[in-house]
A and B are shown apart, each in its own frame.
Chain A
Amino acid sequence: MKKKAWISLLLLLSVLCCLTVSAHAEAQLDYVSDYAGLLSDYERQSLSDEAAQLSEQYDCGVYIVIVGDYREFVNGNIETFTEEVFHSYGLGRGESENGVILGMSMDDRDYDIYAHGDFGNYAFTDYGKEQLADSFLDNFRRDDWAGGFRDFVRNSGELMRRAKNGEPVDQWISDEPEEHFGVIELFICLIVGLVTGGATVGGMKKQMKTAVEQTRASGYVPKGGVNLRVQSDQFVNRVVTSHRIRREQNRSGGHYGGTTISGSHGGSHHSGKF
């Protein structure tokens, strides 16, 4: 018991030292750091390799840090934790320390995506971070940790690729006043009303005609009467198609959502529960 307490204390002290002292030191954290033991060594290493390659390619670091409880390291919330880890370890690449980090705390299932730097904030817009979170949250809800982290890394790559091409994933917000209920809406309501009326009367009419010849005999299959001899499902091929949702040309009267900068370091967050 005593031994365990000593180890915990030493670990805590060493992490706190790192957080406070090495503000401008070289990056000491791996691209994927799993202190909660969610990943096997192989999974962690392959994710780390993939993150390293993307970081190199776009000159923007992609990181994952998983801990049991972030409160053991900082006073504040999960956003404070990721921000502190990012800056204390000197993460990020280039002059403006471009990077994105996914911080996860297992105790209360908190996560935070923190983007930093000119390119980091350009690539990881508020909308982009939201989409990124959507892409891995479904995995986490099924406790598919490796799958979720893979989605985070790969889709971070996609967001950076889009930003590099000058088209970051962002949401158009119209400044025009919302449409009001008009003739078209009334026409839609009328059509729905007529279809519902027709379906209701159709159902009632069906009730009036019950003398119908049977075409099935499922009630005459005895228990254990079905014997499936051949059951094969053979994979043939896979077709992957991508298409762009058409954006309106010459948009006016609106703007892209962009990135909301918060905190003292000039980064942006998207956090929540998984």
Chain B
Amino acid sequence: MAEQISNYQCPACTGPLHFDGKSGKLQCDYCGSSFSVQEIEALYKEKDEAAAQATAQAKEEQGGESNWAQAQGLKAYNCPSCGAELICDESTAATSCPYCGNPSIVPGQLSDMLKPDYVIPFKLGKEEAKAALKKYYQGKPLLPKAFSRENHIEEIKGVYVPFWLYDGTAEADMSFQATRTTSVTLGDTVTTTTEYYNVHRAGTVRFEKIPVDASKKMPDAHMDAIEPYDYDELKPFSTAYLPGFLADKYDQGPDACSERAETRAQNTAADLMAQTVGGYTSVSPTEKHVSVRRGKPIYALLPVWMLSTRWAGKNYLFAMNGQTGKLIGDLPVSSGRALAWFAGVSAGVTAVLSVLMALFMN
């Protein structure tokens, strides 16, 4: 029976290959040879198809996994390199063997209906992610000193996260009440003229590729905050981009995720309509109707570096856009430092203001 997992081996020395973001090629860890994505695709096409078929067959038979793994909602595969049993999530599509370290792909997770349309390959590596985190700690006056000193990265992993990219058109129809006020003072009489207007705006706003992560495992806030991605670098999907990184197939369908994209589109359309109302003293919306017509979503894998650290018994999770390098994550706040800054700024401003006021008044 064919293996459900395939690993890309160097055609020259059979060493494991991994995708290198900088060169955009697959490189051999051992002999240093590099191969283009197209070369490896052609070489491993048959192997991948056989692995995908084996996965489909195993699903039908339901006998490919140990009973324990099945009960936990996990899947068991055998590493094609060393034969060790790999226990993975149901959604795992790319991983590495914990015993021999070889990158492994589960093509069946990303074939047929589950095959992503596009992928943005990793451009930045592990070292860049570490450096970005170090830089992120700088210029944060409220960060406890001990955090950056004692803090160590516990885990760092490059993950191709499944995303739905939604196209759509928002239809907005909004009414506002606006006022224009002018005031003239003559002597001790103030004359105020207020003009009232009924303002109506209606139109359409087109959206392209609003991303929503389709993985339950990934925190939405982290995935949203590392936007945007440069879609000019979207490539037709190939499993050859995956070796060396983790990848998941989606576990939330396009309908389940669409609400988040639609809410964002509705809010933006309303903002854009409101922005066209200008030249008034005050504007307040009286009616708002915004609906979104959604197009067919695109399924894409986008590169994310996930970094986790632990400090004072608490986990801190950071995410970095694997294409642009934008890094985000919540940091602890030192109460002592916050208090010191509050007291310092308050005292400083009070003192300066008092001196200025005293000079001005006396």
Contacts and interface: CB of A to CB of B under 8 A. Distances in A.
Interface of A: 127-128, 131, 135, 155, 158-159, 162, 168-170, 178-181, 185-186, 188-190, 192-194, 196-198, 200-201, 204-205, 207-222, 225-245, 247
Interface in B246-292: 261, 263-265, 267-268, 271-273, 276-277
Contact of A229 (B203, B221, B331, B342): B203
Contacts of A201: 142, 338, 341-342, 345
A178 B350 CA distance: 22
B261 to A, nearest CB: 7
B193 A238 contact: yes
Contacts of B343: 197
Interface string B218-253: 011110110110000000000000000000000000
Given A197-B342, A197-B349, A235-B195, A208 B204 contact: no
A226 B204 CA distance: 6
Contacts of A205: 142, 333, 338
A200 B272 contact: no
B190 interface: yes
Given A181-B357, A239-B196, A215 B140 contact: no
Contacts of B331: 208-209
Given A189-B350, A208-B142, A135 B184 contact: yes
Nearest to A162: B187
A220 B209 contact: yes
A139 to B, nearest CB: 12
B347 interface: yes
A219 B272 CA distance: 12
B358 A155 contact: no
Contacts of A236: 196-198
B346 A227 contact: no
Contact of B187 (A128, A179, A226): A128
Given A193-B346, A239-B194, A210 B330 contact: yes
With a 10 A CB-CB cut-off, give which of A178, A179, A209, A244 has the most chain B CB atoms.
A209
B191 interface: yes
A18 B227 CA distance: 80
Contacts of A212: 221, 224-225
A243 B268 contact: no
16 contacts: A158-B186, A159-B187, A193-B345, A193-B347, A197-B343, A201-B342, A208-B140, A210-B328, A214-B264, A215-B264, A217-B265, A227-B205, A228-B273, A236-B197, A240-B192, A240-B194
B94 interface: no
Nearest to B346: A197
A220 B184 CA distance: 45
Interface of B: 140-143, 173, 178, 184-210, 219-222, 224-225, 227-228, 261, 263-265, 267-268, 271-273, 276-277, 317, 319, 328-333, 338, 341-351, 353-354, 357-358, 361-362
Contacts of B361: 178-181, 185
Nearest to B354: A189
A216 B350 CA distance: 39
Contacts of A128: 187
A222 B208 contact: yes
A211 B222 contact: yes
Given A189-B357, A215-B264, A231-B276, A221 B227 contact: no
B342 A225 contact: no
B187 A170 contact: yes
Contact of B358 (A181, A207, A216): A181
Given A215-B267, A233-B199, A240 B191 contact: yes
Given A189-B354, A211-B221, A220 B210 contact: yes
B204 A229 contact: yes
